[in-house]
Structure 1
Amino acid sequence: MRNIPPALQAHLNSGVTTLCRLLKITLADGRQFGATTLDRDIDFEGLTYYAQNGFDSSIIASDASFDVDNAEGYSLYSTDVPGITVEMAERGELDGAEWAMVLVNYRDLSMGALLLDGGDVGEVRTASNTVFMPELLSYAMRLRQSIGHVDSITCRAIFGTPANSQTGCGVNTDSLWLPATVTAVNTDEPKVTYQVSNIASLPTAAKRWRVRWKSGNNVSSRLYQVEAVDSATGQITQIEPLPFAVENGDQLEIRPDCDKTFSVCRDVYSNHLDFKGENLIPIGQASDTPGAGVPGSTGGGSSFNSNGPSQQRH
């Protein structure tokens, strides 16, 4: 059942309506942006909803089993919407955003609003100086997500997250971040490499690394994986593409990452009690399945035991 304000319900029953839809996008940091299907801007509950020719509310439909019958909605934000820019999308500032769509009487906004649907913003793309949000996923989609996991020799946790969840790690990474400043950029390499200062104290035993940018065009909350770090020379080789070019003077933070093996979890981070993997699963000899090795695994066992296959879904 929908909670429809009485005044708006009376307007719907009148047979002659002046309705439009309002789409509100709320970013993870609390910032909000709005668009409307009307041909003029609307101020509603403290937020301005801008008229957008590219905003198509489509048909919001789902059946009793919560199967999505269509794309839930489609929206397009160009530079005409104050506050939303292509650079924001490229930096990942729209990641983790939520949306809500309501129906209002634009002639009398005091009637209140009818909530049509809401949920998570899915894929975000950019093209021709325009931000596209082709996936507006309903909250009902969360009910279709699998609960549980597949057995794995390596850890399934997200490194640096609190331990009290299915993917929680338990390691506090705040003290692992080391600030650095870009002093030189090598543009001749096939992969992006740059020199930074102040990383001589980084542990040399780490096999994986993450960087986050604190200034420059790439500043965001995203953690980018790097391929290699030479703490002696200060050279970093980027493996994940960056949305913008690295420039001298850009500031970043770098820390070692976890390779998801039990030995590193136990010996490096003393976090083996929170290890979210099954490191004792027997595995086959490396010669049995060439090229199918698992990080941290050792041969000598069998990929099957008396209870069946070594990987089971819970």
Structure 2
Amino acid sequence: MRQIPPALQAHLDSGVTTLCRLLKITLADGRQFGATTLDRDIEFEGLIYYAQNGFDSSIIASDTSFDVDNAEGYSLYSTDVPGITVEMAERGELDGAEWAMVLVNYRDLSMGALLLDGGDIGEVRTVKNTVFIPELLSYAMRLRQSIGHVDSVTCRAIFGTPANSQTGCGVNAESLWQPATVTAVDGDEPKVTYKVSNIASLPTAAKRWRVRWVSGDNVSARLYQVEAVDTATGQITQIEPLPFAVQPGDALEIREDCDKQFSTCKYHGNWLDFKGENLIPIGQASDTPGAGVPGSTGGGSSFHFSQQRH
């Protein structure tokens, strides 16, 4: 049941209304950005909702069966409006952001607001460098998500998370980061190869790697996967696309990543926190590619058990 302020309810019942929607986006670092469906700016509860950054909510669906609520907002960027920029979206600064949409009477904001929906921002894209399209995922969608774990040969933990967390790993990944600086760039998208300094001390036995950029155009909190690292020559091959070109002098941090295998967990001395069932018997890899991985499909049964009768 929605909580509607009495004054706003009376306005809704009047038959002639002056209503508009306000969309507030709160970034993970606390910064807030507002947009409105009205043709002029509105200041509400200390935040300015910009009309020139107007949005169009394509759908907000909700019913008593708790089906997935979803909406998609379209917002135009404007260089003279403080708030979100295309570069911010490209760098991933909208990752982990939250949104809330309310209904207000723009002629009398003292009536309060009716909360229509709220939730997390999903995928963010840019179109022709002028539009960002955040996927607005309602909190009600979480009621449709499965809670619990399935059996898997590989580990289900997120590498670097605390052992006592929901995705508990137990390895202190922050201590593994090694600073480096780009000295030369060779190649362009989709695969970029660049040389860096100061990575000769990295472990050569690592099978996967992650980098995060701390200076340059690509600086963000995102962790990017790289295809190969040559610690002897300092050469890194970037497999995951970057939003901006790599330039000599850009600073980054690199660390090994986990391949979710039990042997890797033992290498880190963390086997007691292994979140997998590595002793489950499985079929031959040629018969069942990806067997033991949740959600995988193969040519036969994922698990092979034998039974003896006495």
Give TM-score scaled by structure 2 length.
0.88
1:60 and 1:73 in contact (8 A); partners too: no
Deviations 1:186-209 (A, max 9, x none): 127972111111111111111111
After superposition, residues 12-161 of structure 1 pair within 5 angstroms as: 12-52=12-52, 55-68=55-68, 71=71, 74-77=74-77, 79=79, 81-161=81-161
Q: 1:190 to 1:126 in 2, by over 3 A?
A: closer
Q: What's the CA shift for 1:303?
A: 5.8
1:74 and 1:136 in contact (8 A); partners too: no
Q: 1:142 to 1:74 in 2, by over 3 A?
A: farther
- State the alpha-carbon separation in 2 of the partners of residues 12 and 295 from structure 1: 49
Q: What's the CA shift for 1:167?
A: 2.2
- State the alpha-carbon separation in 1 of the partners of residues 292 and 250 from structure 2: 39
The answer to whether structure 1 residue 302 and structure 2 residue 301 are counterparts is yes
Identity of aligned residues (%): 90
Deviations 1:7-44 (A, max 9, x none): 22222222222111100011111111010011000011
Q: Name the counterpart of 1:191.
A: 191
- State the alpha-carbon separation in 1 of the partners of residues 301 and 109 from structure 2: 68
1:151 and 1:278 in contact (8 A); partners too: yes
2:184 and 2:248 in contact (8 A); partners too: yes
Deviations 1:212-263 (A, max 9, x none): 0000000000001111111111111111111111001000000111111111
2:287 and 2:300 in contact (8 A); partners too: no
- State the alpha-carbon separation in 2 of the partners of residues 265 and 278 from structure 1: 13
Q: 1:164 to 1:137 in 2, by over 3 A?
A: same
Q: 1:174 to 1:288 in 2, by over 3 A?
A: closer
1:157 and 1:169 in contact (8 A); partners too: yes
- State the alpha-carbon separation in 2 of the partners of residues 23 and 164 from structure 1: 36
2:289 and 2:299 in contact (8 A); partners too: no
1:148 and 1:313 in contact (8 A); partners too: no
1:98 and 1:121 in contact (8 A); partners too: yes
Q: 1:116 to 1:300 in 2, by over 3 A?
A: closer
Q: Which runs of 5+ in 1 are unaligned?
A: 305-309
2:40 and 2:51 in contact (8 A); partners too: yes
Q: 1:302 to 1:130 in 2, by over 3 A?
A: closer
Q: 1:157 to 1:114 in 2, by over 3 A?
A: same
1:195 and 1:234 in contact (8 A); partners too: yes
Q: What's the CA shift for 1:285?
A: 3.5
Q: Which runs of 5+ in 2 are unaligned?
A: none
Which is further off, 229-238 or 76-85?
76-85
Q: Give the secondary structure class of the aligned counterpart of 1:205.
A: coil
Q: Give the secondary structure class of the aligned counterpart of 1:71.
A: strand
2:154 and 2:260 in contact (8 A); partners too: yes
Q: 1:131 to 1:301 in 2, by over 3 A?
A: closer
Q: What's the CA shift for 1:302?
A: 9.8
Q: 1:82 to 1:7 in 2, by over 3 A?
A: same
Q: 1:173 to 1:272 in 2, by over 3 A?
A: same
1:212 and 1:221 in contact (8 A); partners too: yes
- State the alpha-carbon separation in 1 of the partners of residues 79 and 309 from structure 2: 46
2:151 and 2:294 in contact (8 A); partners too: no
Q: What's the CA shift for 1:110?
A: 1.6
Which is further off, 214-223 or 167-176?
167-176
1:20 and 1:105 in contact (8 A); partners too: yes
Give TM-score scaled by structure 1 length.
0.87
- State the alpha-carbon separation in 1 of the partners of residues 240 and 196 from structure 2: 17
Q: What's the CA shift for 1:74?
A: 5.0
Q: Name the counterpart of 1:176.
A: 176
Q: 1:14 to 1:256 in 2, by over 3 A?
A: same
2:291 and 2:297 in contact (8 A); partners too: no
- When the two chains are superposed, the root-mean-square deviation of aligned CA atoms in Å is 4.4
2:119 and 2:137 in contact (8 A); partners too: yes
- State the alpha-carbon separation in 1 of the partners of residues 309 and 165 from structure 2: 18
1:182 and 1:195 in contact (8 A); partners too: yes
Q: Give the secondary structure class of the aligned counterpart of 1:123.
A: strand
- State the alpha-carbon separation in 2 of the partners of residues 44 and 245 from structure 1: 39
Q: 1:14 to 1:201 in 2, by over 3 A?
A: same
After TM superposition, the runs of 4+ consecutive aligned structure 1 residues lying more than 6 A away are 290-302, 310-314
Q: 1:77 to 1:145 in 2, by over 3 A?
A: farther
Q: What's the CA shift for 1:166?
A: 3.8
1:123 and 1:134 in contact (8 A); partners too: yes
